[in-house]
Amino acid sequence: MNPFSSGTRLRDMIRAIRACKTAAEERAVVRKECAAIRASINENDQEYRHRNLAKLMFIHMLGYPTHFGQMECLKLIASAGFPEKRIGYLGLMLLLDERQEVLMLVTNSLKQDLNHTNQYIVGLALCALGNICSAEMARDLAPEVERLLQFRDPNIRKKAALCSIRIIKKVPDLAENFINPAAALLKEKHHGVLITGVQLCTDLCKVSSEALEHFRKKCTEVLVKTLKDVANSPYAPEYDVGGITDPFLHIRLLRFLRVLGQGDADASDSMNDILAQVATKTESNKNAGNAILYECVETIMSIEDNGGLRVLAINILGRFLANRDNNIRYVALNMLMKAISVDAQAVQRHRATILECVKDSDASIRKRALELVYLLINESNVKPLTKELIDYLEVSDQEFKGDLTAKICSIVEKFSPEKIWYIDQMLKVLSEAGNFVKDEVCHALIVVISNAPDLHGYTVRALYKAFQASSEQESLVRVAVWCIGEYGDMLVKNVGMLDVEDPITVTESDAVDVAEITIKRHTSDLTTKAMALIALLKLSSRFPSCSERIRDIIVQQKGSLVLELQQRSLEFNSILEKHRNIRSALVERMPVLDEATFSGRRAGSVPTTLSPSTMASVKVPNGVVKSAAAPLVDLLDLTSDDAPAPSSSSGDFLNDILGVDLSPASAHSGASQAAKNGTDVLMDILSLGTPPAQSSSSTPDIFSLSQNQKSPVASLDGLSTSSPVSARAASSQAASSIIDLLDGLGPSPPAPENNGPAYPSVVAFESSSLRVMFDFLKSPGNPQITVIKATFTNLSSNVYADFVFQAAVPKFLQLHLDPASGNTLPANSSGTVTQTLRVTNSQHGKKSLVMRIRIAYKINGKDVLEEGQINNFPREL
């Protein structure tokens, strides 16, 4: 006999484990037991096999590995006696899951046991099959289970029914085999069989529309009658729960009726009476009764419309909502969410109660209520509801603030009736729970602020005040610092005073204080500090009187341990000291940020039919790195993750000099003269975002550009100016001017070409091998339509065959492509292919054209693909 296995019984082992005082002791006991069990397994000890497995199950429950016992389960299952099988199947279900290969080995034993003469053994096999079978086993054993649905003993029939559910979930193709036997179960009297039969039918309907049709036609009547019988049955002690006969059966019948009634007027009609009876007669003082009512309400809401019943259902929910039991209130909120789509008005009536639930002490209820409130908000009630929610934000639990803040921000964004309200609410949220506000929300707020020029002064003052009150909220600090950097002068001079404001006196030095505090506070994170540095740079030109102090603060950061800050500090210091004359131009106010671009970007993708793979950066004639990704979100990020490797020489160069993580250069800069390029890229280094149109009007001072570039329209229009100049010129010049910028002042770059006529031709795309020119023609009567003639020229020495040009445009544009003049492009620019495009701009005058293109052709039978984005369309198109 094995010296180990002789020892402990299961009971003794459990006792020994329970007596352990420390985890280490417990581990030791378990290790010893496991060693004994392994030894016993190795000796193939039959006598103690079932005891060993029982011990292993206990050890497994404690969380120790027990895989070595898996084969023991199979051996026990294969043995003849019931006790061995019983423990073997239990072990199988506990120690294995359906993903384990070992499970396949048991299929054969299962098959034998399903055909066993002892019904308890059949029951064990069915139970194991129903709990852990895999798809393959389901396929193999389905015929056995199907047969057992008609077994003489009802206890086997009910097990077989539930086992069938698992089988059809694993292998939906098998569903049709089960339809008829399942329907037969619905006529049974035995509650167990009835419950499981109804459940099987419900699940069959989910996987097979054929089953649904069948049951709807054949069984609706029977089910209604069964439900009637159960609902009206006299006291039955065996099934009684709190004065109701078999609530489980009630609920399953109601659920099945819901499936049958959904989308079928006749079936719905035939169950109206019984639903009304259940809804009115069921006792609601016990949980069981409420469970039935709850299910009944859901069925009423889901089946085809019956006005009277719905009123009844909503009333029940109203009662639930007023209940003092939290469980009942929880399910009421849950159900009201579904009821909103059916009868929003009725749900609105409970708004006040629901709002109270948002403030409940129970997190589950709060969460449900908050989602419900979110659905209830519309234009008419947004103001009072938001106020309530924001008021509550002050006192809510820390862990709830995240959810609550996210919802409030989303509500405010979605429904804000006016900008000032939006800004006000966001400022309140930022001051209350700024640490919970997501970055995108801050970005969105800044875009909105930037788009509300008449509120700049108001906003910056409000932010200043908020900062004084609660400077611990990171997001608030960021927005405040950004705004003070941009609109600091408005803060000091009280520009754009609104009637509602109290005037405040802020000196220039106070404004600088904000940035200084932010930089010096150790809790500020890197992004915030970096933003404060930029704000300081901006303020240095806004407040000449403080520039010395600002320089000092910036210089102090030279010693920062964070590379990013140190680098910025050095760069900015160099700007302040050596390039005083370009400083004012560099730190001009940001152009108005384009809301549409931003929201498009947030929505996850720019509306285009081309795949995202086309988003890679493309070199475009004017030498600026064009990235398909709009740069706005990078506004606040210093190290943009998606910055494409800069491919233009100027970008590379700068990257080398400064080693900065370049954020993608503006996709909007259509400007093409060298000088502006220089500024663009520098701007990007400073993360100031897109090159402002205004800066193009001031750059000439530095670079002595010709005056005609300073068209007033361009400087007012803000973003996405496309100076209509054809210039492939200047990538090298761009680079050179930047070197100059850093070393001293550069020579004046060549003056750009003069503006052409109203719609000059542009080089839409150029690579080393291909050039695309666009000529524009406007149809006189309809300004929205532009006819573009695209001319393709082959710059290489190979002939391009199968030449195909494709284009994609954002949703506000419509594009029509005429057939091209040919599909072969001769080499060495010796011929061209032309193609006509017709673009309709539904936002004519507001937005200019943009287009993404893809050109495919074959060189010597090899496929070549070129892609690019065109942003340099003349603005007026």
- Contact positions vs another protein (CB under 8 A): 11, 14, 18, 54, 57-58, 61-63, 81-83, 86-87, 90, 93-94, 97-99, 120, 123, 126-127, 130-131, 155, 158-159, 162-163, 165-166, 191-192, 195-196, 199, 238-239, 241, 246-249, 251-252, 255, 287-288, 290-291, 294-295, 326-331, 334, 361-365, 367
- Least distance CB 239 / another protein (angstroms): 6
CB-nearer residue toward another protein: 14 or 517: 14
Whether the CB-CB separation of 818 and 834 falls below 8 Å is answered with no
Task: Specify the residue, 403 or 652, whose C-beta has the smaller distance to another protein.
Answer: 403
- For 287, 405, 460, 505, the CA distances from 465, given in Å and listed in that order, are 53, 21, 9, 11
Query: Beta-carbon neighbour count of residue 755 at 10 Å?
Result: 14
Of 188 and 246, CB closest to another protein: 246
Of 192 and 496, nearer to another protein (C-beta) is 192
125 phi/psi in degrees, rounded to 5: -65, -45
- What lies within 8 Å, CB to CB, of 565 at 6+ separation is 526, 529, 530, 533, 557
CA distances from 435 to 348, 411, 475, 711 (A): 32, 18, 6, 44
Nearest approach, Cβ of residue 128 and another protein (Å) = 9
Non-local (6+) Cβ contacts of 31 within 8 A are none
785: helix, coil or strand?
strand
Query: What stretches of 43-118 show up as alpha helix (H) in DSSP?
Result: 49-61, 70-78, 82-95, 107-114
Closer by beta carbon to another protein, 191 or else 428: 191
Residue nearer to another protein on the CB measure, 197 or 678: 197
Judged by beta carbon, residue 368 or residue 461, the one nearer another protein is 368
**Token output for 846:** 């507001």
Please, what is the minimum distance in Å from the beta carbon of residue 68 to another protein? 13
Q: Write out the DSSP string of 673-718.
A: -HHHHHHHHHHHHTT--SPPHHHHHHHHHHHT--GGG--HHHHHH-
For residue 294, what are its two tokens? 């709850």
Provide, rounded to whole angstroms, the least separation between the CB of residue 326 and another protein: 4
Beta-carbon count within 10 A of 222 CB: 13
Q: Any idea of the CA torsion for 196, 202, 205, 206, to the nearest 10 degrees?
A: -110
Provide φ and ψ at 203, rounded to 5°.
-70, -30
**Please, which residue, 197 or 689, has the CB nearer to another protein?**
197
> Which residue's CB is nearer to another protein, number 294 or number 776?
294
User: What is the closest distance, in whole angstroms, from the C-beta atom of residue 404 to another protein in the complex?
Assistant: 16
Amino acid (1-letter code) at residue 198: V
* Residue 275 to residues 245, 303, 575, 774, Cα–Cα distance (Å): 16, 11, 78, 69
How far apart are alpha carbons 407 and 365 in whole angstroms?
15
Q: In the sheet where 800-808 sits, what is the strand order?
A: 800-808, 851-859, 862-870
Q: What is the spatial distance between Cα 279 and Cα 299, in angstroms, rounded to a whole number?
A: 11
Q: To which residue do tokens 């975002």 refer? A: 689
Shortest Å, Cβ 35 to another protein:
21
Minimum distance between the CB of residue 214 and another protein, rounded to whole angstroms? 21
**195 vs 455, beta carbon nearer another protein:** 195
Nearer to another protein, 99 or 862 (CB): 99
Give the residue with the Cβ less far from another protein, 123 or 623.
123
State the distance between the two ends of the chain, measured CA to CA, in whole angstroms: 96
CB of 163 to another protein, least distance (A): 6
Closest separation between CB of residue 715 and another protein, Å? 52
Report, in Å, the least distance between residue 248 CB and another protein: 4
Q: What is residue 163's three-state secondary structure?
A: helix
* Beta carbon nearer to another protein, 326 or 796: 326
> Per-residue b/e over 356-367, b at no fewer than 16 CB within 10 Å?
ebbbbeeeebbb
Judged by beta carbon, residue 14 or residue 570, the one nearer another protein is 14
Q: How far is the CB of 199 from another protein (least distance, A)?
A: 5
CB of 216 to another protein, least distance (A): 21
Q: How far is the CB of 441 from another protein (least distance, A)?
A: 24
Q: How far is the CB of 83 from another protein (least distance, A)?
A: 4
| Rounded Cα gap, residues 272 and 286, in angstroms | 24
Distance CA 26, CA 492 (A): 70
| Cβ nearer to another protein, comparing 47 with 525 | 47
Cα–Cα distance measured from residue 176 to residue 58, given in angstroms and rounded to the nearest whole number: 41
- Return d(Cα 217, Cα 171) in angstroms, integer: 25
Nearest distance from C-beta of residue 14 to another protein, angstroms = 6
> Nearest CA to 410 among 450, 382, 435, 452?
382
d(CA 194, CA 557): 77
Nearer of residues 64 and 421 to another protein, judged by Cβ? 64
Taking the least distance from each CB to another protein, the nearer of 329 and 844 is 329
Q: Which two tokens stand for residue 97?
A: 């899951």
The nearest distance, CB 352 to another protein, in angstroms, is 20
- At 834 the three-state DSSP class reads strand
**DSSP assignment of 584-620, as one string?**
HHHTPPPPPP-HHHHHHHHTTS-S-SS-GGGGS-EE-
Task: Give the DSSP H or E segment for 433.
Answer: helix 419-433
Task: Select 124 or 585, whichever has its Cβ closest to another protein.
Answer: 124
Cβ of residue 90: shortest distance to another protein, in angstroms?
A: 6
Report, in Å, the least distance between residue 412 CB and another protein.
25
Cβ atoms of residues 718 and 693 within 8 Å: yes
